[in-house]
Structure 1
Amino acid sequence: MSDQTRPDIGFGRIATTLPVKDIERARRFYVDMLGFTKTFENGTPVGFMILKQGPAELHLTLQPNHKPAPFNVAHMMVRDVDAFHARCKREGLRIVKGLQDKEYGLRAFVFEDPEGNRIDVGAAL
């Protein structure tokens, strides 16, 4: 499709949806440890939830048979990647890739949340 025939869609928000086996455990992690606020939930029992922290938005979906992917499923940009990395270590989270400066201008690391979802975290150098 050429630029001439491609529609001007005007994208807005795009949010990452993380599958979780235990939505309450995931909520506690993202709210209590990372400071997100729950802004929406749906279902009885709850099967979907929206969490926000500043401009960041994260969706959780209950998937009882969830098996974590062996690759990064989300990327977070933060102001202080060193402080976030230290907190992840203090909380005993699995660090998949250690903190390092990347040739593409980020200082980054990868951790697993309590549900096994791999999250890539970075800050501009």
Structure 2
Amino acid sequence: MQHPIKFGRIAAVLPVKNINISKAFYINGLNFKNVFENGDPVGFVILRREDAELHLTLQPQYKAPSFPVAHLLVDDANVLYSQCQNVGARIIKGIQDKDYGIRAFVFADPDGNRIDVGQILNQ
């Protein structure tokens, strides 16, 4: 009989071309906190905001895919949408209510990493 295991958090790893530009975007623009760095020069960073965690890894030749690389649940998609617009994030899909009960939008960070944002409606 196999012993059941409990899964803990899982964090998105985002490849970035310039770690300083990406850190500034997530820290200054979206209020993440820098909780860990590794390398000299720095090539890996862990950022956290509440329960959300992002791992940035330096990949100078990175080309972002044309699909979302992470999904972020928030309690107010309208506020984050405005915040993304204010910091100059590229909006891939504008905010809209989906028929499956989610208010959603997609933005891209400075490296083109697409983040799909959702707010569960009627909870």
Q: Shared fold by TM > 0.5?
A: yes
Q: For structure 2, list consecutive stretches of 5 or more residues without a partner in the other structure.
A: none
TM alignment of 1:1-125, pairs within 5 A:
8-125=4-121
Determine the C-alpha separation between the residues in 2 that align with 1:102 and 1:14: 25
Residue aligned with 1:100, SS: strand
Determine the C-alpha separation between the residues in 2 that align with 1:49 and 1:76: 19
- The residue type paired with residue 34 of structure 1 is L
Residue aligned with 1:12, SS: coil
Q: For structure 1, list consecutive stretches of 5 or more residues without a partner in the other structure.
A: none
Determine the C-alpha separation between the residues in 1 that align with 2:28 and 2:116: 19
- The residue type paired with residue 60 of structure 1 is L
Q: Percent identity?
A: 55
Write out the 4+ residue segments of structure 1 that deviate beyond 4 Å after TM superposition. Answer: none
Deviates more, 1:8-17 or 1:58-67: 8-17
RMSD between aligned residues? 1.2
Number of equivalences: 121
- The residue type paired with residue 119 of structure 1 is I
Structure of higher CA gyration radius: 1
TM-score (norm 1): 0.91
- Shift in alpha-carbon separation, 1:6–1:104, aligned structure 2, 3 A: farther
How far has the Cα of 1:7 moved from its partner?
Answer: 5.0
TM-score (norm 2): 0.92
Q: Can you list the C-alpha shifts for 1:17-75, whole angstroms capped at 9, x where unaligned?
A: 00000011111111111111111110011111101111111100000110011100011
Determine the C-alpha separation between the residues in 2 that align with 1:6 and 1:119: 36
